[in-house]
Amino acid sequence: MTRRPVLVGLVLWALLASAAPVALRAQVRAPEAPTPVLLVPGWSEGASSLEVLRSRLLEAGWRESGVAVVDFRDPVGSNREHAREIALAAAALREASGSPTIDVVAHSMGGLAVRYYLRNRGTSTGDVRRVVFLATPHFGTYSSLVAWGEGAREMLPGSDFLMTLMAGRPVPHGVDALTIRTPLDLHILPLESAQIPGVPDMIVCCPTHTGLLDDSEVFRRIEAFLRG
């Protein structure tokens, strides 16, 4: 008479034991993929200038479909036109990654085009979560006197384009921003032009203007900000 309860108990124990690993596996979720990142080059630069930064993001856990690089048709052209290209690239990245929001890392003049895009994105409001500006001449740079193209003219301190950007909020509500600059920057003159009032600012010693793009300390700070 005692065999039946014992047998039932053994069967129940076996079922529970076999179900436990399944339950544990269900509780272990795959880590969330980082927010997709759009990389934007600076004046006269192309996608190749951002290859090291792109590779480091992939090595740090970003998905292949979650990192895109803008390659402007005219690298020295107007920031207004660059902003339209950024809008297309941002939409393509959101579609490819399946994410409704993206982050942006922009170098030099590319940051001005990003700001113009953020001011004029219309129905895409809310698509950008965070922006890192690497040595962007927010108030212009006198080195543009020896540069060329419409972009160079727009970077001249006091230009109509810069006055337009300065007329409103430097960065729209809902977008977190960070500026990173180097004291050895011979392209951003004066150096203070690379910061935005009210936006967190970091000075990293001591890569060059373009050296910011492959500096390990700069990347560490970019990654920390994007993951924060």
pLDDT averaged over 10-residue windows placed end to end, the chain, 228 residues: 48 48 47 92 98 99 99 99 98 98 99 97 83 99 98 99 94 97 98 98 98 99 98
Residue 198 lies in a domain: yes
Residue at 197 is within a domain? yes
CB 111, CB 56: distance < 8 Å: no
CA-to-CA distance for 36 and 28, rounded, in angstroms? Answer: 23
What pLDDT score was predicted for residue 33? 86
The answer to whether the pTM exceeds 0.85 is: yes
Asked if the structure places residue 7 within a domain, the reply is: no
Q: Is residue 8 part of a domain?
A: no
Token pair recorded at residue 176 = 């977190």
Structure tokens at 170: 């430097």
Is 196 contained in some domain?
A: yes
- The count of structural domains within the chain is 1
> Which pLDDT does position 145 carry in this prediction?
98
Q: What is the CATH number of the domain that holds 143?
A: 3.40.50.1820
| Any domain includes 101 | yes
pLDDT of residue 1: 46
Do the domain assignments include residue 67? yes
Confirm whether 207 is domain-assigned: yes
Per-residue model confidence (pLDDT) at position 66: 99
Q: Where are the alpha helices (DSSP H) in 98-131?
A: 110-119
CA pair distance 82, 136, nearest whole angstrom: 15
Q: What's the domain range around 131?
A: 33-227
Structure confidence at residue 121 (pLDDT) = 86
Q: What is the DSSP letter of 193?
A: G
State the pLDDT at residue 18: 52
